[in-house]
Amino acid sequence: MIPVFNEEANLPVLHKEISTALTGIKPSWEVIYINDASTDNSLAVIRDLAAKDEHVRYLSFRENRGQSAGFAAGFQHATGDVVVTLDADLQNDPADIPSMLAMYDAEGADMVIGWRTTRKDTAVKRLSSRIGNAARNWWTRETVHDTGCSLKVMRTEMARRMPMFKNMHRYLPTLMKMQKAKVMETPVNHRHRMHGESKYGTWDRLKAGLYDLIGVRWLLDRAIDYDIEDQK
């Protein structure tokens, strides 16, 4: 499941890598591209991929709604029991998916998160991500090393039950744990961006992040939690 905004140059390479990584995966698999009202030829590329490959499905938004909206739509339209999320910019490596699925099965996990131990970003982006991750962990009482990594494996039914809100993609591990999900981490490859540029500025992410932290903390503090001891 891949949200897409102006990634026409990356999509053919990404799809080839996904197809190679998932060859032989059982049961069957699908790729859902969510076009977030791209202004380049991304939608045309996606349509061409769908015409040539039966594994490909796509959704196309009328207006730009952001990455979280892409994930939310993808969760609702996915047909499999397990959903894998990743970015379309080629920085996530599809070759990591089989080992993450193996961990998901072997450990009985509900979610496996990629941990970019060696980031291939600018120094400013690495620093801002480190600060943002530390702030999220402190404010939400979380311990995840890299919640910003989009490469994640999740149980579909639990992903659908998460509260959906703007920028919720930054808090997926926390939102899954609210359902008592078993969440695990594993190191994954991270690569330099080949084409295009990042769609998110450091200052924009900082402003949104501060606002969202307050909302997520409120959600955690107000969430209803109970265990049934007996019933008839």
pLDDT in tens, 114-170: 998 877 666 666 666 666 666 666 667 777 888 889 999 999 999 999 999 888 888
Q: How far is CA 80 from CA 35, 69, 192, 208, 221, in A?
A: 20, 19, 30, 32, 32
Amino acid 65: pLDDT: 95
Residue 35 exposed, middle or buried by CB count within 10 Å (0-12, 13-18, 19+): buried
37 versus 210: the higher-pLDDT residue is 37
The maximal CA–CA distance of the chain, rounded, in angstroms, is 60
Torsion of CA 147, 21, 76, 82, to 10 degrees: -80
At 27-49, the pLDDT tens digits run 789 999 999 999 999 999 999 99
Percent of the chain with pLDDT over 90: 60
| Domain 2-120+147-199: top CATH class | alpha beta
Q: What is the mean pLDDT of residues 219-230?
A: 81
How far from 16 is each of 38, 49, 98, CA to CA, in Å?
21, 10, 15
